[in-house]
Structure 1
Amino acid sequence: METILSTTKLSKRYGDALRVKEVNLSVREGEIYGFLGPNGAGKSTTLKMLLGLVRPTSGQVQVFGKELQANRRFVLSQIGSLIESPSYYGHLTGLENMRVVQKLRDVPAKNIEEALKIVRLEKQKEKQVEKYSLGMKQRLGIAMALLSFPKLLILDEPTNGLDPAGIGEIRELIKALPQQYGMTILLSSHLLSEIDQIATSVGIINHGHMLFQGKLSELHQKNQPRIIIKTTDNRAARDVLMRAGFFPGVEEGALVFEKLADGQVAQANRSLLAEHIDVLRIEEQKRSLEDMFLKLTGGGESL
């Protein structure tokens, strides 16, 4: 797949604080790219630089194979975005707000009805936006971003503040866009479970540093499962296993092995039974994406 967006050593300094530090980001055509990081990690600043809203201190941004600053008008005409929170006129209806954006973006009027239909607001279009729920306002913001049916859609925390039902609605909407409309989506979030369900690729940023970038499947492959063994006497079991060449840790009343092949699990079990130690449970435990994320951002590690 063609790379549709890339950055080279993209950095942004505010005073003495370097908020984004030489980020090399790569988004391929047709992807849903999840840009993950805790609050204050540098996500929104990076996205603003990709849209020309913030000028980088150093580094380059290329979109559709063109350098952003030199081709700003063309590049931005192919991008839809929702950064931080939707902008709207509360006293106007949803339809009237859409008409304002339609004229500003100089796109066909027929796009309004189609965009409202995609976000399922067509029945609420005559209602004043100040009377919309938070989820409806968020969907209106996405409809505005979709109005030109862009090649690239950039969404900053699109499910922020929504209830579980609203999050589910936005998730299903985003998942359908690449296949139905050929869009590439760059999506920032700190909701790890959501990114796990929606993204095909992921970038993890913390303190302005990119810690991991790649396919979501690659991240899960790096997540080696642990083996948990619980016995009637874990202290004695640990001594037996260490004599047999195993080095388990102890967590919450169980023995924990970071890396064990199937044959090694069977060998450990035989060693315990030979010493008449009853094995109550053997289970494989895979860390969630959230566990991986916390390990990366909390421990300052990179993959």
Structure 2
Amino acid sequence: MINTSPIVETHNLSKSYGGMNRVHQVNLSVEKGQIFGFLGPNGAGKTTTLKMLLGLIKPSEGTVKVFGKDLTTHRPAILSQTGSLIESPSYYGHLTGLENMKVMQRLRNVPSKNIDEALKIVRLENQKHKQADQYSLGMKQRLGIAMALLAFPNLLVLDEPTNGLDPAGIGEIRELIKSLPGQYGITVLLSSHLLSEIEQIATSVGIISDGKLLFQGTMQSLQANNQATIRFQTSEPAKAEKLLLTHGYMPQVHGNQLILKYLRDEEVSKLNKALVEQSIPVTRIEEHKKSLEDIFLDLTGKERSL
């Protein structure tokens, strides 16, 4: 098997301002072809981390490798294969969408056919002769993404790409991002404070809070952290526990609830019958599964967004 190094790799990446750690010893690993969702509450250190990955700010400590190369020594080569949209799109308001793209094309030194292709991907080809000042918020955001796509980079870094968009705009950007790895071989690293957004778009996720990376892995592994349980509620938990033990089950007892690992419906029915036959009243049976939001809150101890 060919050993391919991650597209983005950081080691103990840290940034402090005035003695305060904004980002603390973050070890990120983004593999080729992933849509990596960088998730965390506002102020968690997401933008600071992304800026360090692009060399826009200098780390206080740690290293950044992109495409297997050290950012400090290979920054121009790395940036030539990278597209980014950090914070909000930059454009000349008095120029049209197309003119803005032409400016960027000259800066990036790429063929002019890339302009039409990038505008088509973000669905702005019919609005390209309109002044950028007259674009809606969603169109400005799409223009920013078109500029980031212009060189058809291997890596696209997007900071809160759906910020300030209406539901229709969010849906459009989401579908656009999801198509990039398959159609164009572009690896995407995007940040968001919205759990629902990352859940619908990302294949892998990193969760950051107060500058520390709390979780990193696939969406499936995040969801697998969350096995469903069955809870029996009874006014006689001690007697119920004894009976379940004789049936070979190992319940956890919390107050008047007995918590069991996930059971099939037939098993639930069988245990309920056994309890009732021994005159142990069952007042409630429920399946309990944490939502991804609960897992996120457990990890960060913070509300998901305000």
Q: Are the equivalent residues in 2 in contact too, given 1:93–1:128 (CA < 8 A)?
A: yes
One-letter identity of the residue aligned with 2:240: L
- 1:17 maps onto 2:17 in alignment: no
Cα deviation digits, residues 186-207 of structure 1 (max 9, x gap) = 0111111111111111111111
Give the equivalent residue in structure 2 for 1:108: 111
Q: Are the equivalent residues in 2 in contact too, given 1:241–1:271 (CA < 8 A)?
A: no
Pairing 1:81-96 to 2, within 5 Å after superposition: 81-96=84-99
Number of paired residues? Answer: 292
Q: Distance in 1 between matches of 2:95 and 2:229?
A: 55
**CA spacing shift, 1:267–1:211, aligned 2, 3 Å:** farther
* Structure 2 gap segments, 5+ residues each: 246-250
Q: Are the equivalent residues in 2 in contact too, given 1:241–1:268 (CA < 8 A)?
A: no
Give the equivalent residue in structure 2 for 1:70: 73
**CA spacing shift, 1:268–1:191, aligned 2, 3 Å:** same
Pairing 1:275-290 to 2, within 5 Å after superposition: 275-276=278-279, 282-290=285-293
Give the equivalent residue in structure 2 for 1:60: 63
Give the equivalent residue in structure 2 for 1:177: 180
Q: Distance in 2 between matches of 1:277 and 1:169?
A: 55
Q: Are the equivalent residues in 2 in contact too, given 1:240–1:272 (CA < 8 A)?
A: no
Cα deviation digits, residues 38-86 of structure 1 (max 9, x gap) = 1111111000000000100010000111100101110000000011111
Picking from 190, 195, 205, the partner of 2:193 is 190
Q: Give the Å deviation of 1:128.
A: 1.3
Tell me the SS of whatever aligns to 2:261: coil
Cα deviation digits, residues 234-276 of structure 1 (max 9, x gap) = 55254543444534447xxx94736344487456423432244
Q: Are the equivalent residues in 2 in contact too, given 1:224–1:258 (CA < 8 A)?
A: no
Pairing 1:133-282 to 2, within 5 Å after superposition: 133-229=136-232, 234-236=233-235, 238-244=237-243, 246-249=251-254, 255=257, 257=259, 259-262=261-264, 265=268, 268-276=271-279, 282=285
One-letter identity of the residue aligned with 1:145: A
Q: Distance in 1 between matches of 2:29 and 2:47?
A: 16
Tell me the SS of whatever aligns to 2:7: strand
Q: Are the equivalent residues in 2 in contact too, given 1:228–1:256 (CA < 8 A)?
A: yes
Q: Are the equivalent residues in 1 in contact too, given 2:45–2:210 (CA < 8 A)?
A: yes
Q: Give the Å deviation of 1:168.
A: 0.8
Q: Are the equivalent residues in 1 in contact too, given 2:235–2:281 (CA < 8 A)?
A: no
- 1:129 maps onto 2:128 in alignment: no
Q: Distance in 2 between matches of 1:238 and 1:134?
A: 57
Question: Relative to structure 2, which stretch is displaced further, 151-160 or 239-248?
Answer: 239-248
TM-score, structure 2 normalization: 0.88
**CA spacing shift, 1:265–1:62, aligned 2, 3 Å:** same
The root-mean-square deviation of aligned C-alpha atoms, in Å, is 2.2
**CA spacing shift, 1:38–1:272, aligned 2, 3 Å:** same
Q: Are the equivalent residues in 1 in contact too, given 2:10–2:65 (CA < 8 A)?
A: yes
Q: Distance in 1 between matches of 2:297 and 2:263?
A: 26
Q: Distance in 1 between matches of 2:220 and 2:17?
A: 35
Q: Distance in 2 between matches of 1:220 and 1:178?
A: 23
Q: Are the equivalent residues in 1 in contact too, given 2:9–2:29 (CA < 8 A)?
A: yes
Q: Are the equivalent residues in 1 in contact too, given 2:94–2:131 (CA < 8 A)?
A: yes
One-letter identity of the residue aligned with 1:270: K
